[in-house]
Structure 1
């Protein structure tokens, strides 16, 4: 893992060779991920919680359905954005493993991966405890994503 920059350098060099304008190379990842985090993430989180706490069964069912439909897409976009963020750092000759932004992003993907596994297991046969863990783990991941965004903005302004 210590040679992650070296491992990704050939791929980053290919992207550098495309002549991508510097503002897009520098701010493309943050802008796109901000949309995923703040718009999609907020919607997915709210829909999940509404599905748990709303008294109206029809509204709760719709919220759970919305959450179930969009959460996998959000995870996919975050995973793709993670990859893009790594390449962006390498393209800008920045060390990856020294970045708190890298570590918060990695932690978020692990948390959301665990959450996806809990959901894929159908909550262990619809166990209330696993549904509760899923809700709080997802909320923790969203809160960490907001911190991740702050660290990313700080990183973007630094480099």
Structure 2
């Protein structure tokens, strides 16, 4: 058992004692995260790119506004889901650090955290290069989320 698993074991034990049904422990995280990734993630990516590419100013502004409203919630849900996924693995006595699914999730949160920091700087005081990095970094994170989902399904089916 890794140090991380040992550290989280007391928390996982509290959840184990709640008597949650095994399918919830096993498939709850994947189901909730699939909704976040495929629904919210697709919308956030679509709205962000639409805000950059559409020529109509009103439509572009609406898309940017939608992106700004939903993206922070998506990040929050992904971070919460990341925590739930790690605890789910500990509850099932599975290795955490050996899982490519764990590492892709970690990288996605790092990329989205960097993207949030870029946005919080107001894109370096509205520099086009910061906006471009933000767009491509976010798109990379979304593509990695799709890979992450495939690795998660593979992991779920193997346990």
The question of a shared fold, defined as TM-score above 0.5 by the shorter chain, is answered with yes
Aligned to 1:104: 104
Aligned pairs, number: 158
Aligned position for 1:72: 72
Q: CA deviation at 1:112?
A: 0.2
Aligned to 1:54: 54
Give structure 1 regions of 4+ aligned residues with deviation exceeding 3 angstroms.
none
Where do 5+ consecutive residues of structure 2 fail to align? Answer: none
SS at 2:18 equivalent: coil
CA distance in 2, matches of 1:155, 1:95: 11
TM-score (norm 1): 0.99
Cα distance in 2 between the residues matched to 1:98 and 1:149: 16
Alignment of 1:9-158 (within 5 A): 9-158=9-158
Q: CA RMSD in A?
A: 0.4
Q: Secondary structure of 1:64's partner?
A: helix
Flag structure 1 segments of 5+ consecutive residues without an equivalent. Answer: none
Instruction: String of CA shifts for 1:53-109, please: whole Å, max 9, x gaps.
Output: 001111000000000000000000000000000000000000100000000000000
Q: Matches of 1:69 and 1:38 in 2, distance apart?
A: 17
Aligned residue for 1:96, secondary structure, equals coil
- Once the two structures are TM-superposed, the CA of residue 13 in structure 1 deviates from its matched residue by 0.4
CA distance in 2, matches of 1:114, 1:40: 19
